[in-house]
A and B are shown apart, each in its own frame.
Chain A
Amino acid sequence: MLKCKHVVVKADALVDGAPLTRRERFALRLHLLMCHHCRRYVRQLRALLNTLPRNPDSLDDARTREILDKLNAPQER
């Protein structure tokens, strides 16, 4: 029987959709069916990861131009 401590580690792969063996997946499902603490852990971990800030803004035109200008500088020297 899988222990909660290990479920918390395996939960990462579950949340990521990483490949688990059929046996691992079955053991995890069975555990989650019976353990509401671990169910809560997985649900809240998912929510947490989904709210992390993603995709920063694109760069403004002035900075983009500065970077492009520096690309050619070494060849001009």
Chain B
Amino acid sequence: MDPTLESPEFIERLRQGDRAAFGQLVKGHHNMLLATARTMLSAADAEEAVQDGWIAAHRAIGKFEGRSLLRTWLTRIVINQARMMLRKGGREIQFDPTDEQDALAHRFRDGGHWDHPPQHWDLSGPDALLTRDELRHCMEKTLGKMPDNQRLVLELRDLQGMDFDDICNMLDVSASNVRVLLHRARARLFELVDHFQETGEC
């Protein structure tokens, strides 16, 4: 992301109501915010949540105090909009992990050692595993099927690279719960790639 979008000068322009600066903000952040909303909502609802988020941000920007990154502040606004829309539809996103096992659990023996250890992945070279189109396609499918809570945490941490503690704060969820959700999301992806390495299929 463009670092000037977090600079004090830029933030001051926003606080003064500079329209061009707000345009830059929208341009730079919109698609990322949409990706966040999309983990919880349909495509159409996500668009609406982010649009409403912009309206809320525009109203509140004069009072932005720079205690967090602007990006974190915007993401929190959009997540709150999305949660509000879910509630209106009688739904809610739960962050208490269920007692399901993670996707790698079946690979260990009772004693806790590997029974079915990871395959070797070819990580470099022109045909490196992780760059193969078929695998990218499988990953997209897995991301699409992932429970919303895991998908959201993965999105914020591993796709957008947000700070772990910021994520816990903006979701108002304990660090240990976020850890569990993130671990489950990653385990699903690891299992998928390893399975692909072994079988050539999703």
Smallest Cβ distance from B141 to chain A, in angstroms? 14
The contact string, 1 if C-beta is below 8 Å from chain A, for chain B 110-146, is 0111100110110100000011000000000000000
Residue numbers in A under 8 Å from B104 (CB-CB):
8
Q: Can you list 16 A-B pairs, Cβ within 8 angstroms, ordered by A?
A: A3-B108, A3-B111, A4-B114, A12-B179, A12-B182, A12-B183, A13-B179, A38-B114, A41-B190, A44-B194, A48-B186, A55-B1, A59-B31, A64-B26, A67-B30, A71-B54
CB < 8 Å neighbour of B114 from A37, A54, A71: A37
Bound complex: CA A43 to CA B189 (Å)? 14
The contact string, 1 if C-beta is below 8 Å from chain A, for chain B 1-18, is 100000000000000000
Bound complex: CA A16 to CA B123 (Å)? 20
Q: What class of interface size applies to chain A in its complex with B?
A: 35 or more
- Please state if B108 and A54 are interface contacts (CB–CB under 8 Å): no
Tell me the dominant secondary structure on chain B's binding face: helix
Bound complex: CA A12 to CA B184 (Å)? 10
CB < 8 Å neighbour of B118 from A6, A44, A56, A58: A44
- Interface size for B (C-beta < 8 A) is 45
- Please state if A55 and B30 are interface contacts (CB–CB under 8 Å): no
- Please state if A37 and B51 are interface contacts (CB–CB under 8 Å): no
Residue numbers in B under 8 Å from A63 (CB-CB):
30
Interface residues of A in 41-75 (CB under 8 A from B): 41, 43-45, 47-49, 51-59, 61, 63-65, 67-68, 70-71, 74
Given A48-B130, A59-B31, A67-B26, A40 contacting B159 (CB threshold 8 A): no
- Please state if B123 and A71 are interface contacts (CB–CB under 8 Å): no
Residue numbers in B under 8 Å from A71 (CB-CB):
22, 54-55, 58
**Which B residue's beta carbon lies closest to that of A42?**
B118
- Please state if A37 and B118 are interface contacts (CB–CB under 8 Å): yes
For the complex of A and B, list the 3 residue pairs with the smallest distance between their C-beta atoms, beginning with the closest.
A3-B112, A37-B117, A56-B31
Interface residues of B in 33-62 (CB under 8 A from A): 34-35, 51, 54-55, 58
